[in-house]
Structure 1
Amino acid sequence: MGIIVPAYQMSLSYNNQKEAITFPVLPEKLGLNRKGSGKTHDIVGIGEVNVIGNRELAEISFESFFPAQAYSFVTYPESGSKATEPESGNRLLPAIEFVNFIARWQDSPYPSRFIFTGPNFPINLPVSITKFDRWEVAGQPGDIYFNITMKEYVFHSAQKIKVITGKDGKKNAKTEDPKRSDDRARPATYTIKAGDTLIGIARLILNDDKRWRELQKLNGITDKQVRTLKIGSVIKIPKD
């Protein structure tokens, strides 16, 4: 009976995995750094004590290279035009295309997602790309070497405080639930479909149905037009 070799795979994706690449060459070493956090205090009668705090964000780093041409499973964003849209799937890519993907994601204000699959060391984390250095080596034309460092990204949202006046005249502060986390990149425009309303679009795209007035003002939509949005028309989406 032969030995079954476990499958290893490493990928990086963006925009809720609407864009993704798998790394064609796995690194010799993959570093995952998770530091704890704590402070020591001197207490009279007890001495030094250690108070454990929340751990620091994880940091992932490794070094590898992109061959001049290599097969990778690639997911491309939907452009809406099938005539010009590249085909997603296992494709032969030049090294520079891998670099272009990662460099673009690094410049984005939205997080990426790093996935490493293996039997003993699985990783699946949203990350920001904090460092991406690349270079070429003499005698190996077309190959692009690189090292990359990524930091764990924690989804967060500001909590709104709402002041409520009771029947007795006293004012009480109520904390509203934060909005759900979302790693999708926000589109610049939206095309109206049948059944759409500004409230529904605000909920879908902005994750807040109360911002429909913002959509109305940005696109110069009158109160009368709000009730009958024209199917197929394109509206602008605000940038935060």
Structure 2
Amino acid sequence: MGYQMFLKLEDKVLQIPVLPEKLEISSPGHNETVTVLGIGEINKLKRKGLREVSFESFFPAHYEPYVAGFLFERVEAEDSGEQVKQTKQASSIKPVYTDKTLPEPIRCIRTIQLFREVNRPIQFLLTGTDLDINIKMGIEELSYDERAGEVGDIYYRLKLKEWRPYSAKTLGLTKDNKARAGAAKRPGSPSASKTHTVVRGESLWAICKKRYDDGGKYPQLYAKNKALMDKRNKGTGLPKYTIYPGQVLVL
């Protein structure tokens, strides 16, 4: 598999169409050199700094062989000359690339700008190399320009910096009036488990419809409570999805 690079924010994914000639990766250190009496200088090792990734490339206005193929949709032309049908990249149909399937360079730039405006980290992925990277990063710098003789192409430079989750710690007083720091809450930490107490006449489907707005999720609800339900239904000859009033299910 060849090299591939992606910038991703939730369901929005931008593949880098032309791989950069050079990828600069740096990780600064914060070690401290101090002088100790009778020993001389020593190096106090500290945690490394945030990684930085920077590269230059361009968004092409027209397809060329070096453009990443996954950026396109496949196009199937009927022999009879009927309407052209677009299908997903996973299709087995031989791809036919046209200018119409290539995203406009300015749209790619706007996508990166959108990533910056939401003030949230993006996922940077580099695959197909020993340098495989899959980390959350912030967009530090973006510069771009259009050059004479290459109308439509947009050249750009992008600098990314590693992002780590953080939050303020909480302080509380113990009985002896000593301050105690609480653990910091990280973004995306799972919330406490929610439960549902079964009442007479309910079914897994009805509970999923009520709590998830989708009754079809009852197999997932069963999977979360499999041990509890299987133990209660063992030897009864009843379906494994049978529930009973008073049972407390984890949602």
* 1:72–1:92 contact (8 Å) kept in structure 2: no
SS class of match (2:13): strand
Structure with the higher fraction of residues in strand conformation: 1
Q: How big is the shift at 1:125?
A: 1.5
Counterparts of 1:198-237 in structure 2 under 5 Å? none
1:66-145 matched pairs, under 5 angstroms: 66-69=59-62, 73=71, 92-145=102-155
Candidates 21, 25, 41, aligned match of 1:28: 21
Give distance in 1, aligned partners of 2:109 and 2:135: 21
Q: Deviation string for 1:134-169 (max 9, x for gaps)?
A: 10011111111000001111111112122243xxxx
> Computing the radius of gyration over CA atoms, which structure comes out larger, 1 or 2?
2
Pairing 1:177–2:178 present: no
Query: CA 1:44/1:12 → structure 2, altered by over 3 Å: closer, same or farther?
Result: same
Q: Structure 2: how far apart are the matches of 1:94 and 1:162?
A: 54
- Contact kept, 8 Å, 2:24 with 2:53, in 1: the verdict is yes
Q: Distance in 2 between matches of 1:19 and 1:136?
A: 25
Q: Does 1:9 align with 2:4?
A: yes
Q: Retained in 1: the 8 A contact 2:61–2:102?
A: no
Q: Kindly indicate whether residue 50 of structure 2 is the aligned counterpart of residue 50 of structure 1.
A: no
Partner SS for 1:102: helix
SS at match of 1:28: coil
Q: Give 1:194 shift.
A: 4.4
- What SS is found at the alignment partner of 1:157? coil
Unpaired runs of 5+ residues, structure 2, are 64-68, 73-85, 90-100, 190-208, 213-251
**Does the CA-based 8 Å contact 1:69-1:95 persist in structure 2?**
no
- Return the alpha-carbon distance in structure 2 between the equivalents of residues 40 and 20 of structure 1: 43
Q: Is the contact made by 1:23 and 1:72 (CA closer than 8 Å) also made in structure 2?
A: no
How much has 1:118 moved relative to structure 2? 2.3
Secondary structure at the counterpart of residue 171 of structure 1: coil
8 Å CA contact 1:12, 1:20 repeated in 2: yes
TM-score scaled by structure 1?
0.61
How far apart are the structure 2 equivalents of 1:103 and 1:69?
22
CA, structure 1 residues 88+136, in 2 after alignment: closer, same or farther (shift >3 Å)? farther
Aligned length: 164
CA deviations on 1:8-47 (whole Å, 9 max, x unpaired) are: 1000011xx3211111110000000112221111111111
In the alignment, what sits opposite 2:171?
161
Gaps in structure 1 of 5+ consecutive residues: 1-5, 75-86, 184-192, 197-240
Q: Secondary structure at the match of 1:42?
A: strand
Coordinate RMSD, CA, aligned: 2.6
The one-letter amino acid of 2:2's match is: A
Q: Deviations over 1:115-148 (max 9, x none)?
A: 1012311111211111100100111111110000
